[in-house]
Amino acid sequence: MTHTRQSWKISTERPVSYDISCCHDLLNPENKALLASNDKTGGKRRFVVVDTNVLNIYGDTIANYFKKNGITAYIHPFEAGEDNKSMPQYLDVLSALENFPINRRNEPIIAIGGGVTTDLVGFVASTWRRGVPHINVPTTLMGYVDAAIGIKTGINFNSNKNRLGCFSPPEQVLLDRSFFTSLPRRDILNGVGEILKLAVVKEPELFFMLERHGSDSINNQFQNSHCEDILNMSVTSMLAELEPNLFETDLARAVDFGHNFSPALEMQTELNLLHGEAVVIDILLSSIISFEKSILSKTDLDRIFSLTLNLGLPLSSHGLEADLLMQSLLERQHHRNGVQCFPVPTSIGACSFVEDITINDITSAVTFFQKWLQESTGLKERKSHEQHSQCR
């Protein structure tokens, strides 16, 4: 009698390995970093998606780079901004790719731009022919310390942030901070929001560095040696958090701090908040909740508040409706398989997770925040008025 098998099991592991490297003069034709491919058979074409603002400034240099290196590059302009992290833009890039065929392994797609560009292009690459290699070149601080260095790609859908996407490691990430010299101050501060997140829940030393050198670094567009230390510490800390949990098997993630209420705030177009701006407001509300639950001390809460003020991070309590924030948390709860897993700071540079956030906690935190904001802006205005009068 023959036995017919009724079930089979497939089991395999796929290693993930990619380099994240700091580079100088990335667009100098002598610098070959951007041409590298894991597949050494040497394809001669590149599909390069470039943020339109980056293209306006560095377009000729980018075109010249590929030309001088004998590469036929199709440069696809992509207008960034959260509204364009969308299905129509995703399809638009796919259509352009259809018209510029690339080899499946040795001609990686290159994304040059901020987090919106690298998120969307990573998603394009991961779905094109079920996955082709891509290289990230972040040109914003947000991309440098966060968006471009991990493996998450995606687009927004149905007014929900990152609803469609996948885990898709880049082939490599090339970090050149000279791009920040052309970045508007608002976008520098936007990236500082993510650095602050790491500092508050993971890196006391980074917090201290921000207290001492944060303002200078911002004024200096992150170009001097202190800035290099801050950037290095941020990237190292972020990767240390990501690497052991790349596919988010463990849903308790310290780096989700500041990302519980912020998704809903960011998607309210009338609030006009950038990702990092919404994250900073979330950081403060979450820290207040931690204080009100007697987890975080008043001294540490005050330090967090003072740092955000001293760095000049934009703060507003406009649109902070407890219902909206609770809705956002409930959405995050689905993302975390039904549990809140809400990260809160326990002291500067440390965190734990709580499960019992209620709408009352949120209402109380919003009231606390509004009061503090009113007092601190009043104080700031009084101080500058006094300084002004003394000068006259």
Residue 117 engages ligand NAD in binding (rule: CB under 6 A): yes
Q: Work out how close the CB of 274 gets to ligand NAD at its nearest, in angstroms, rounded to a whole number.
A: 6
Regarding 199 and contact with ligand NAD (CB under 6 A), the answer is no
Exposure on the CB side of residue 207, measured as CA atoms within 13 A:
21
Q: What is the DSSP string of 230-270?
A: HHHHHHHHHHHHHGGGTT--S---GGGTT-SSHHHHHH-GG
User: 257 CB contacts (<8 Å, ≥6 apart)?
Assistant: 197, 200, 201, 283, 286, 343, 344, 345, 351
116 interacts with ligand NAD by CB under 6 A? yes
CA angle 236, 224, 48 (to 5 degrees): 65
Among 187, 256, 300, 361, binds ligand NAD (CB under 6 A): 187
Site string for ligand NAD, 11-40 (x = CB under 6 A): ------------------------------
Using the contact rule CB under 6 A, the part of the chain among 41-49, 61-69, 108-116, 375-383 near ligand NAD is: 108-116
Q: Which span (110-118, 292-300, 347-355, 380-388) binds ligand NAD, by CB under 6 A?
A: 110-118
Among 113, 133, 214, 349, binds ligand NAD (CB under 6 A): 113
Stretch that binds ligand NAD, among 2-10, 14-22, 113-121, 217-225 (CB under 6 A): 113-121
41, with CB counted inside 10 A (0-12, 13-18, 19+), is: exposed
Give the residue, chosen from 33, 35, 48, 54, that forms a contact with ligand NAD under the rule CB under 6 A. Answer: 54
Q: Give the contact letters, 69-88, x = binds to ligand NAD (CB under 6 A), - = no.
A: -----------xxx--x---
Which one of residues 108, 150, 343, 345 is an interface residue with ligand NAD (CB under 6 A)?
A: 150
Q: How far is the CB of 352 from ligand NAD (least distance, A)?
A: 23
CA distance 355 to 341: 6
Active site residue 152: yes
Residue 89 touching ligand NAD (CB under 6 A):
no
Give the Cα separation of 380 and 392 in Å (integer): 19
Work out the number of other CB atoms within 10 angstroms of the CB of residue 15: 5
Judged by CB under 6 A, the stretch of 62-70, 128-136, 146-154, 197-205 that binds ligand NAD is 146-154
Cβ(222)–Cβ(188) below 8 Å: yes
Work out how close the CB of 388 gets to ligand NAD at its nearest, in angstroms, rounded to a whole number: 33
How far apart, in whole angstroms, are the C-alpha atoms of residue 117 and residue 134?
Answer: 12
Strand stretches in 245-374, DSSP E = 342-347, 350-354
Nearer to ligand NAD, 53 or 291 (CB): 53
Contact between 132 and 97 (Cβ < 8 Å): no
* Cα–Cα distance for residue pair 239/244, rounded to 1 Å: 9
Question: Rounded to whole angstroms, how far apart are CA atoms 304 and 288?
Answer: 10
Number of residues that bind ligand NAD (CB under 6 A): 29
Using CB under 6 A as the binding rule, the residues of this chain from 252 to 271 that contact ligand NAD are none
Does residue number 119 form part of the binding site for ligand NAD (CB under 6 A)? yes
Cβ-contact 138, 144 below 8 angstroms:
yes
Among residues 85, 152, 197, 202, the one annotated as catalytic is 152
Min dist. Cβ of residue 222 to ligand NAD (A):
11
- Which residue's CB comes closest to ligand NAD? 115
- Alpha carbon of residue 222 to chain centroid: 17
User: Partners of 51 in the beta sheet?
Assistant: 78
**For ligand NAD, which residue of 114, 133, 258, 349 counts as binding (CB under 6 A)?**
114
- Per the CB < 8 A criterion, the answer to whether 158 and 164 are in contact is no
**175 contacts ligand NAD (rule: CB under 6 A):** no
Query: What residues line the site for ligand NAD (CB under 6 A)?
Result: 51, 53-54, 57, 80-82, 85, 113-117, 119, 139-140, 142-143, 146-147, 150, 152, 179, 182-183, 187, 190, 274-275
Catalytic positions are 152
